[in-house]
Amino acid sequence: MSDLSPEAVKHHVKVYVRVFVALAILTMITVTVSYLHLTIAAAVLVALLIATLKSSLVAGFFMHLISEKKIIFAILALAFLLFLTVLLIPVLSHP
Q: What is the pLDDT of residues 39-80, one digit of tens each?
A: 988 888 899 999 999 998 998 888 887 777 778 778 888 998
> Which among 60, 54, 8 has a CA at the least distance from the CA of 28?
54
Same domain, 41 and 78: no
Q: Are residues 52 and 81 in the same domain?
A: no
The model scores a pTM over 0.75: no
**Domain count for the chain:** 2
Residue 56 sits in the same domain as residue 74: no
77 and 53 in a single domain? The answer is: no
Q: Which domain holds residue 77?
A: 68-95
pLDDT value at position 1?
A: 46
Residues 6+ apart with CB under 8 A from 91: none
- Classify 74 as helix, strand or coil: helix
Question: Do 12 and 51 sit in the same domain of this protein?
Answer: yes
59 and 77 both lie in a single domain: no
At residue 25, does pLDDT exceed 50?
yes
Distance CA 48, CA 62 (A): 20
State the chain's mean pLDDT as an integer.
87
Residues 52 and 33 in one domain: yes
